[in-house]
A and B are shown apart, each in its own frame.
Chain A
Amino acid sequence: MVFAIPHRRFHSTTQYIIKISALCILGGIAFSGCANRIKISLAQSLVADVAQATERHDDPALVMQSMPAFLLLLEGLLEENPRNANLLLTATEGYASYATLIELNDRERAHNSYGRAKEFGLRALHKRKKIRHLLGAPFTQFSTITAHLKPKDLPLVFWTASAWGGWISTNLESMAALADLPKVIHLMEWVIGVDEGFKHAAPHLFLGVYYAALPPMLGGQPDRALHHFNRSHELTNGTSLMVHVLKARYYARQIFDRDLHDALLREVLQTETAPEASDLILQNEMAKTMARQLLEESDAFF
């Protein structure tokens, strides 16, 4: 669940600029509009590069400190192009990922970042005519939204639902926020149906946390949570250490199993990121930081 662009959109920035410039000149498009498009393209290329570098970085603190500047750059671009679909997706993903990074230490700021991410995501979904009227509708109507979603919508739906879920979980006192939860779960169930392995099986992790975080008295389902955590582990061949960390933090704590809790976290601290999982370096480093913190809290919790 760490910042990343799903696909790089072009091979070489220079190639792309030349192509765009040529098209602009040939088409006789006004220069200002063309410059703007070049600026967006350049920025998006930069975003893609930075995103990939970020995923592979091994210092979460450095990434945490540098991301705000990057997010501001995106905001700047969005000022000029408030309805650009790619920028909106990148901003949704960027703010949601940043919030995940800081949530453990700064819940309030994380809440605000999730909120921004959610707004960008919903703005992008709002561009779609068939979906627009459903977004604010009661759950029964809202639930028909999935009939209008296409597989290519998956990244946007995933990041919007992630951000929305984070925004709710950092704001449990708000009734209006809590009332949105069924919508978020519905979207995430759709994502799992389309591509359960998306972003290192992150949709399974999300639902694992959801079913484990709630006490059974309030609708939590530890068994279902366990299924999602295990599936996430399987799909990532055990390379994603965050699976163990979240399973310890939510599932093991909910069923009050200290042995399992500590064993999972110790395993995380002893495991190095597999060479084939270079996209997970940052996330796994984060997982280790969280594992250390959760282990320290173990006495206090159990």
Chain B
Amino acid sequence: MHSFRHRLARRTAPYALLLVLATVQALSAQTLKVATIAPEGSSWVKALRSIDAKVQQATDGAVQLKIYAGGVQGDEKVVLRKMRIGQLHGGGFAGQGASIVLPDILGLQMPFLFDDYEEIDCVIDSMNTTLKKAYQDKGFVHLGWADIGFVHILSKSPINSIEDIRRHTVWRLEEEPITEVLFRLANVRSVPLAIPDVLLGLQTNMVDVVYAPPAAAIVLQWFTRVAYINTVPINYTLGAFIVSARAFAQLAPDHQTALREIAEKEMRTLSLKTRVENEEALHVMIDNGLKVNGLDEGAIEAFRELVQSTQAELVGATIPLATQQRIDSLLAAFRQARAQRRD
């Protein structure tokens, strides 16, 4: 009996050691707590889960993400606050979070700045290093961009010009600096509302013009309370996956590299997917009875002039001057190069 037990112990010892090692590794696994308002099952959360799976694989389980989906940790401002006090380590920001941390992002979201994704990709690629460093200076590590999409005007009656807009009451996102200045200078009557209150605002005719990326207009059900969608994109909006620099610094250097590379790639995939979803959403809304209208070239020019006048107030105060100049010059250079390529 004794010898049997002895033999058994000898045979199982290596496995027991493995088990102990595995336990130690599991205990020492570093968990990054990441929150997002995007619901479980959405493309955003799927992207974060994919990052988690791949990072676990690349680091042999040493690093993992704990994902809080569906806004259970609060809205993006709350998530940022929790990140600052170390209660959370990261956020998948699909709303204003990315620009609250770094107002430079607002420069990329100015109305009538970008015409298409090619322009956006070129400008953001060129500014990537600078912007990542700017996030770092604020105490955050930027792990990837994610499109929210081009914003479109949705309205109860057709909007073809600034005069049309002036005849209506327009929704304005609370505490969003660009629209506040823009509508004031354009003499547009606007009502500030938080996003969850907009649907009721449309139902009660408190507002009759709103704007959103197409996918958001479906998720928020705003499309059920308007009759028109304008096909001219107003402005581009951008989200990001950000973690606190303090939490990131706790990771081993090769794990940091793995997380950066994996996240960057997955977030790019998410962006491309969001572009497809927004395109699909636009068609779905049209299929659901929304009538399409556009802006004539004169109207777009008038809008552009208005935006110019808002820049005088915003740039330097809200958006850093150097950032806006960089965006403008990169975009101008890209457009020129593209025009030459086409010639």
Contact = CB atoms under 8 A, between A and B. Distances in A.
A178 B219 contact: yes
Interface stretch (B109-117, B279-287, B324-332): B279-287
B221 A213 contact: no
A173 B39 contact: no
Contacts of A182: 221, 224
A279 to B, nearest CB: 31
B37 interface: yes
Contact of B70 (A170, A176, A178, A215): A215
Contacts of B284: 175-176, 179
B105 interface: no
Interface in B16-60: 37, 39, 41-43, 46
Contact of A300 (B66, B70, B72): B66
Contacts of B41: 169-170, 172-173
A173 B66 CA distance: 22
Contact of A181 (B43, B214, B221): B221
A253 to B, nearest CB: 6
B320 interface: no
Interface in A204-261: 213-220, 253-256
Interface in A60-119: none
A256 B223 contact: no
Contacts, number: 83
Given A169-B41, A181-B221, A182-B221, A138 B289 contact: yes
Q: Which of A213, A219, A256 has the most CB of B within 10 A?
A: A219
A129 B219 CA distance: 31
B264 interface: no
Q: How large is the interface on A (under 10, 10 to 19, 20 to 34, 35 or more residues)?
A: 20 to 34
Interface string A247-283: 0000001111000000000000000000000000000
B221 A215 contact: no
Nearest to B280: A175
A interface, by DSSP: helix, strand, loop or mixed?
helix
A215 B72 contact: yes
B224 A139 contact: yes
Contacts of A141: 289
Contacts of B95: 217
Contacts of B72: 215, 253-256
Interface string B291-309: 0000000000000000000
B42 A172 contact: yes
Nearest to A256: B72
Nearest to B278: A175
Q: Which of B37, B70, B223, B287 has the most CB of A within 10 A?
A: B70
Contacts of A214: 39, 70
Interface string B217-230: 01111011000000
Q: How large is the interface on B (under 10, 10 to 19, 20 to 34, 35 or more residues)?
A: 20 to 34
A179 B220 CA distance: 10
B68 to A, nearest CB: 8
Contacts of A175: 214-215, 218, 277, 280-281, 284
Contacts of B214: 175
A32 interface: no
B71 A219 contact: no
Contacts of B219: 178, 218-219
A14 interface: no
Interface in A168-197: 169-170, 172-176, 178-179, 181-182
B224 A218 contact: no
B42 A179 contact: no
B253 interface: no
Nearest to B46: A173
B199 interface: yes
A15 interface: no
Interface in B184-205: 195-196, 199
B221 A137 contact: no
Contact of A213 (B39, B218, B288): B39
Nearest to B281: A175
Interface in B69-87: 70-73, 75
Contact of B218 (A138, A169, A178, A217): A178
Given A174-B280, A219-B219, 4 more contacts: A175-B284, A176-B280, A217-B71, A219-B199
Interface of A: 137-141, 169-170, 172-176, 178-179, 181-182, 213-220, 253-256, 300
Interface of B: 37, 39, 41-43, 46, 66, 70-73, 75, 95, 195-196, 199, 214-215, 218-221, 223-224, 277, 280-281, 284-285, 287-290
16 contacts: A138-B288, A139-B288, A140-B224, A173-B43, A178-B218, A179-B223, A213-B39, A215-B71, A216-B71, A216-B196, A217-B95, A218-B71, A218-B219, A219-B220, A255-B72, A256-B72
